[in-house]
Amino acid sequence: MSKYTNLLSEQIKEDIETYIIENELKPHDALPSERKLAETLDVNRLTLRAALKRLRNEHHIYTIHGKGNFVSPPKIEDDTHNFTSFTTGWSSDGYITSSKVVLFDLIESPLPVCTHLNLSLGEKVYQLRRIRFLNDEPILLETSYIPQKYCPGLEQYNFAVSSLYDTLSNNYHLNLKEIQESMSITALTKEESLYLNGQEEETAFFIKSTTFDNEKPIEYCITVSRAERYMMSSTLKSENS
């Protein structure tokens, strides 16, 4: 049972967190060397290393080989309780947003996309893949599928600058009011890692969302984002309130 109850390295992890707060270390500030930190916290090197690994696993610190350990910048926090366009939502959080279109095609809807959009095989969808930047850092890789029958001529718009939701609502009179999202865990493919400035096989969020006009699914979107840089948040309400 000792592997279940040995909480020492967890305690040391919290001690290092406290050290960071007390010494007001900022993102990218260096932690003391392992030897010094072990002395300060009065713990052996083995336990200290286990604690540092915990902090690294949870993205509190990062390590540069030969240089030591550094405080990680805070993750980008995506508040899921707003149904707004990318630009509106993130600008109101104080970020400078930009987008780059890396793929925009008209294709036959792949089977999984058919399911989410209630299409028959053979129907055409627009496939739009965009990298979303916050303060010039690539954070989200979004691949949207929109049935051509709802928005013929969509290819004339430039979605590096135009909002997809605004275009669908203003130019095609689609009333997008509801999103259903589900989230799981994936590993970045090589291509995704290049777009997001990450490593191949790195852990990432995999978010599937479907946007509806009343009951009708209009857009199916797959979003990938690096676990090291991204987190979701929401405020849950009590049932009585």
Partner 1 sequence: MSKQAIYLQLADFIQGKIDANEYPFGSKIPSERELCDTFQISRMTVRKAIDLLIEKEYLIRLQGKGTFVNKQKLDSPLDTIQSMKRFIHESGLTPSNKVIYTEKKKAGIKYSKIFHISPEDEIFCLFRLRMGDDTPIAMEYTYVPYDIIPNIDSYDFEDGSLYALFEHYQIELYEDYQTIEIVKIFNPQAALLSIPEDSAVFMLHNTVTDTTGRIVEYTRSYMSKNTVTFTSILT
Residue 5's identity, in one-letter code, is T
- Least distance CB 34 / partner 1 (angstroms): 18
Instruction: Return the bridge partners of 100, or none.
Output: 131
Q: Is 18 in the site for partner 1 (CB under 8 A)?
A: yes
Q: Look at residue 52 and give its three-state secondary structure.
A: helix
Question: Which region among 5-13, 36-44, 134-142, 146-154 touches partner 1 (by CB under 8 A)?
Answer: 5-13
Paired tokens of 123: 């129907």
Q: Is 182 in the site for partner 1 (CB under 8 A)?
A: yes
Say if CB 154 and CB 127 are below 8 A apart: no
Closest CA to 103 of 130, 125, 123: 130
Question: Which region among 37-45, 72-80, 128-136, 188-196 touches partner 1 (by CB under 8 A)?
Answer: 72-80
Cα of 224 vs its chain's centroid, Å = 6
Q: Is 17 in the site for partner 1 (CB under 8 A)?
A: yes
Q: Is 240 in the site for partner 1 (CB under 8 A)?
A: yes
Q: Which is nearer to partner 1, 160 or 183 (CB)?
A: 183
| Strand 203-213 to 216-226 pairing | antiparallel
DSSP state of 30: B
Burial bucket for residue 1 (CB in 10 Å: 0-12, 13-18, 19+)? exposed
Residue 68's identity, in one-letter code, is G
Q: Which of 205, 218, 220, 224 binds partner 1 (CB under 8 A)?
A: 205
E strand or H helix that includes residue 167: helix 164-172
DSSP state of 104: E
Q: Which is nearer to partner 1, 79 or 155 (CB)?
A: 79
Q: Is 81 in the site for partner 1 (CB under 8 A)?
A: yes
Q: Is 14 in the site for partner 1 (CB under 8 A)?
A: yes
- Least distance CB 209 / partner 1 (angstroms): 9
Q: Is 121 in the site for partner 1 (CB under 8 A)?
A: yes
Q: Which of 112, 160, 161, 173 binds partner 1 (CB under 8 A)?
A: 112
| Total residues belonging to the chain | 241
Q: Which is nearer to partner 1, 20 or 102 (CB)?
A: 20
Which residues sit at the interface with partner 1, rule CB under 8 A? 3-7, 14, 17-18, 21-22, 50, 53-54, 57-59, 75, 77, 80-83, 111-112, 115, 118, 120-121, 177-185, 187, 203-205, 227, 231-241
